[in-house]
């Protein structure tokens, strides 16, 4: 009888996976619709948390009902399991505004092609580093130098990086806008600090504007890259593209 109860409890336990794919199976939407304001996003995430807690509590209750426990012991056990589950999931999963992806190709000093976005591991997605503007590849030698630095920071293709999203995750042509992290280093900032990209703030994505602006001040002060007085870049990337459409 005891073994039968434990087997029944084990049958429910596998449902306690809080991965994004499992949440979708439960019919729980994990990402707020595009265009939501910051306040509406906060309300959405709060409702999401309550839905997950309700679902997990129901599963844990089924598990505990399948074994012989007193009513108060069962309630205490449910609470303890919920707290333990949340703490464990927090260690193993990235926040909702981050995604770990594999780099397929470095396109330029500000653009990547990556694999592993939106549960489609073999689909290539375009990523644009947010908050910066790197020289066009036709702006020699600065464009190639920016691309080369980004390749060195990432370590080449097939390397994993973490994408962090701000309030707006897509640009007008559908590219993903992201802050790119590798080994806890913000690559957007490093490109600006070494003078291989300019800081360009664009609404509504302003999370790291102060860091990027300070990095640019440092690069200009030290005469790095595009700020080198002996071979300074005469046109900004935006001006160059407008003149060379």
In the numeric block, which tokens belong to residue 244?
A: 């060379």
- State residue 45's pLDDT score: 73
pLDDT tens digits, one per residue of 13-47: 455 555 666 666 667 766 766 666 666 666 667 76
pLDDT tens digits, one per residue of 139-196: 999 999 999 999 999 998 889 999 999 999 999 998 999 999 999 999 999 999 999 9
Taking 90 as the threshold, does the pLDDT of residue 74 lie above it? no
Provide the β-strand partners of residue 103.
114
Taking 70 as the threshold, does the pLDDT of residue 95 lie above it? no
- Which pLDDT band holds residue 6 (cuts at 50, 70, 90)? very low
- Nearest CA to 93 among 187, 30, 179? 30
What is 98-243's CATH topology?
Answer: OB fold (Dihydrolipoamide Acetyltransferase, E2P) (2.40.50)
Quickly tell me which residue has 């007193």 as its tokens: 70
- State residue 216's pLDDT score: 97
How far apart are alpha carbons 241 and 244 in whole angstroms? Answer: 5
User: Range with the lowest mean pLDDT among 19-33, 50-64, 65-79, 198-212?
Assistant: 65-79
**Residue bearing the bigger pLDDT, 224 or 59:** 224
- Measured between alpha carbons, how far is residue 168 from residues 118, 129, 186 in Å? 16, 12, 18
- Nearest CA to 156 among 182, 130, 185? 182
For the segment 197-220, the average pLDDT, to the nearest whole number, is 95
- State residue 13's pLDDT score: 45
- Nearest CA to 151 among 117, 201, 211, 111? 111
For the segment 72-92, the average pLDDT, to the nearest whole number, is 55
Which residues in 51-175 belong to E strands, given as ranges? 98-106, 111-115, 124-129, 132-133, 160-164
- Nearest CA to 187 among 233, 210, 218, 155? 155
pTM of the model: 0.63
pLDDT tens digits, one per residue of 97-123: 889 999 999 999 999 999 987 666 788
Half-sphere exposure (Cβ direction) of 133: Cα atoms closer than 13 Å: 13
Q: Is there a contact between 58 and 81 (Cβ–Cβ < 8 Å)?
A: no
The distance in angstroms from the start CA to the end CA of the chain is: 77
Parse the chain into domains and list their residue ranges.
2-92, 98-243
């Amino acid at each position: 009888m005891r073994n039968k109860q434990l087997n029944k409890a084990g049958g429910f336990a596998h449902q306690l996976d809080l991965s994004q794919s499992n949440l979708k199976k439960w019919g729980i939407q994990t990402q707020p619709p595009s265009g939501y304001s910051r306040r509406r996003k906060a309300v959405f995430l709060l409702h999401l948390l309550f839905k997950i807690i309700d679902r997990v509590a129901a599963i844990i209750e089924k598990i505990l009902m399948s074994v012989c426990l007193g009513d108060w012991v069962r309630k205490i056990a449910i609470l303890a399991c919920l707290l333990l589950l949340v703490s464990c999931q927090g260690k193993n999963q990235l926040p909702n505004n981050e995604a770990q992806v594999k780099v397929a190709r470095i396109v330029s000093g500000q653009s990547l092609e990556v694999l592993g976005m939106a549960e489609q591991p073999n689909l290539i997605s375009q990523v644009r580093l947010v908050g910066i503007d790197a020289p066009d590849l036709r702006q020699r030698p600065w464009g190639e130098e920016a691309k080369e630095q980004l390749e060195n920071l990432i370590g080449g293709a097939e390397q994993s990086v973490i994408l962090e999203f701000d309030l707006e995750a897509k640009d007008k042509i559908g590219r993903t806008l992201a802050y790119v992290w590798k080994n806890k280093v913000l690559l957007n900032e490093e490109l600006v600090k070494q003078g291989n990209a300019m800081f360009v703030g664009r609404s509504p994505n302003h999370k790291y504007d102060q860091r990027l602006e300070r990095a640019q001040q440092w690069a200009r002060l030290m005469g790095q890259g595009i700020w080198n007085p002996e071979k300074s870049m005469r046109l900004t990337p935006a001006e160059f593209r407008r003149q060379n459409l």
